[in-house]
Amino acid sequence: MALFVDLHCHSTASDGTLPPAEVVRLAKANGLSALALTDHDTIGGVKEAAAEALKLGIDFLPGIEISAEYPSPGTMHILGYGVDPNSPTLRGMTETLIAGRDNRNPRIVAKLNEMGVAVTMKEWEDEAKGIVLGRPQLAAILHRKGYVSSIKEAFDRYIGQGAPAYFDKERLTPKRAFELIRESGGLPVLAHPVQLRTENDAQLERVIKDLLDLGLAGIEVIHSDHDDALFAKYVSLAQKYNLIQTGGSDFHGATKKNIDLGIARGRRIPREFFDNLLAHHRKLKKAG
Ligand code: AMP
Ligand code: ZN
Ligand code: FE
Ligand code: FE
């Protein structure tokens, strides 16, 4: 059994640049023994990825990543592991989330046009291979057209938080997000806690305690945004609050060129993270 896994990655079903089956093939090529696909707001890639994983002999867990209401400049992303692809609750939730994008996206494009940037919704739709239109795809278009010299510049100058063409999308409250993931048969896990941008450890612990009351099952301790000190901090919080530890690269393909599948800031994700998550998920299903 290969020793390493990746529990956080994106495909063309959302804003990644590789199709789901290719993400799985890359996992195999990178020597991983298990993978969870965690596209934003959709499980549209899960079926294809699961079939490829079966073919290649890699263990697979369906996942989803959703962003919840949280005060700026922080962001709260929740991973839902083991959601049931046939759950009507899950379908309803993804429809709501995608409707939030569909309301927001034309406003971004209109503002860009106003700023003299020639881009259309049609171009964005074509760039997105699935139904989830995310800002990284728009950034890629701006880059290709020569408006910016990098994806980062597209966010800094145009579409990132605080930039002129930034518009927020409607989000679920954390409470609702946790309920819907639980009702969909999934385990809610706090993604990349560093992105909460809490001011100190006490505030971070308060957030975690609040989420525990909502049914938090785990915390992502390994992530490409976590340095060694953050990793150590989140591991100790996981131990203190009896949370499942998870980890992933947050691989997106070409829009985040510096991130390879299975490696988060030079750190690999141990197989036991996957086994532990799966064991908790089985217990949940048995309790039904
Ligand atoms: P969206 O879900 O469409 O709002 O886009 C959010 C995604 O854009 C996140 O998952 C990040 O991958 C990416 N993103 C957000 N802010 C930045 C930034 N400042 N630089 C690069 N990527 C970003
Ligand atoms: Zn993304
Ligand atoms: Fe995220
Ligand atoms: Fe992600």
| pLDDT at residue 288, as a whole number | 74
Cβ of 129 less than 6 Å from ligand 1: no
Dist CA 181 CA 83 (whole Å) = 7
How far is ligand 1, taken at its centre, from the CA of residue 268, in Å? 23
| pLDDT at residue 1, as a whole number | 65
How far is ligand 2, taken at its centre, from the CA of residue 71, in Å? 20
Q: Which ligand is nearest to the CA of 250?
A: 4
How far is ligand 2, taken at its centre, from the CA of residue 287, in Å? 33
Q: Which atom of ligand 1 is nearest to the CA of 77?
A: 10
Classify residue 1 by burial, with Cβ atoms within 10 Å: 0-12, 13-18, 19+: exposed
**Mutational pocket test of ligand 1: of 64, 135, 158, 220, the residue with most ligand atoms within 8 Å of the beta carbon:** 135
Cβ of 8 less than 6 Å from ligand 1: no
Nearest-10 crossing angle of helices 201-214, 174-183: 40
State which H helix or E strand residue 221 sits in. Answer: strand 218-222
How far is ligand 2, taken at its centre, from the CA of residue 286, in Å? 32
Residue 171, token pair as written in the block: 């989000």
Cβ of 100 less than 6 Å from ligand 1: no
How many DSSP H helices and E strands does the chain contain? 10, 9
Residues 6+ apart with CB under 8 A from 136: 15, 151, 252, 255, 256
Cβ of 160 less than 6 Å from ligand 1: yes
Please, what are the averages of pLDDT over each run of 10 residues along the chain (288 residues)?
92 97 98 98 98 98 98 96 97 97 98 98 95 96 98 97 96 98 98 98 98 98 98 98 98 93 98 98 90
Q: Which atom of ligand 1 is nearest to the CA of 252?
A: 12
Dist CA 168 CA 108 (whole Å) = 9
Dist CA 206 CA 202 (whole Å) = 6
| pLDDT at residue 124, as a whole number | 98
E-state strands within 3-72: 4-6, 32-37, 59-68
Cβ of 136 less than 6 Å from ligand 1: yes
Nearest CA to ligand 1 atom 3: 134
Q: Which atom of ligand 1 is nearest to the CA of 133?
A: 3
How far is ligand 1, taken at its centre, from the CA of residue 285, in Å? 33
